[in-house]
Amino acid sequence: MPEIKISATTGTEIVSATDAKNYIRIDTADDDSLLTSMIRQARIWCENYIGKDIVAKTRVYYLEYSDDRFELPFSPVSTITSATVEGNAATYKTYGVDKNIFALDKLAAKDVKVTYDTSGLNDELLQQAILQLVSTYYDNRADFVVMQGVSFVEVPANVKQILAPYKNAFI
């Protein structure tokens, strides 16, 4: 079973607390730390939804066994810092627009571990999706919907529509 781990978050948020305060129309500094936390939570939700990193990170991807090319999750990949098979350095090639298709020169490899850096994404649509999600989090801190005995807060449909073109499911 594949495993993925974040070793370090190297980039910065693409939405600031000031951006969120302006969007939500908050005039005080009382909720700045809360907004900062909500921005991080919204960005993580968006990253998991689209399967790509918005903020640059160093990641480690592990496969117990590989006999073919595989996709490195959460692209775009900027650098492969190491690749090992059974603890030994491995030779490989990368393909694809985001350099996320990884092919080992050795077939039928066991204990494959790839450490790589992602560059992150940043554009106005991603910022808008994060701002809308932060606004929803902020406005619904205590509100919830009950349907068929289950309570939840629904992610706004327009956030999902904004993120749809970026979506890259990691399975």
Q: What is the pLDDT of residues 15-46, one digit of tens each?
A: 999 999 999 999 999 999 999 999 999 999 99
How do 70-71 and 101-104 pair as beta strands? antiparallel
pLDDT more than 70, % of the chain? 89
How many angstroms separate the CA atoms of 78 and 139, rounded? Answer: 37
Fold of 3-54+121-166: Hypothetical protein yqbg (1.10.3230)
In the chain, where does the domain assigned CATH 1.10.3230 lie?
A: 3-54+121-166
Please, what sign has the CA dihedral across residues 154, 151, 42, 47?
negative
pTM of the model: 0.82
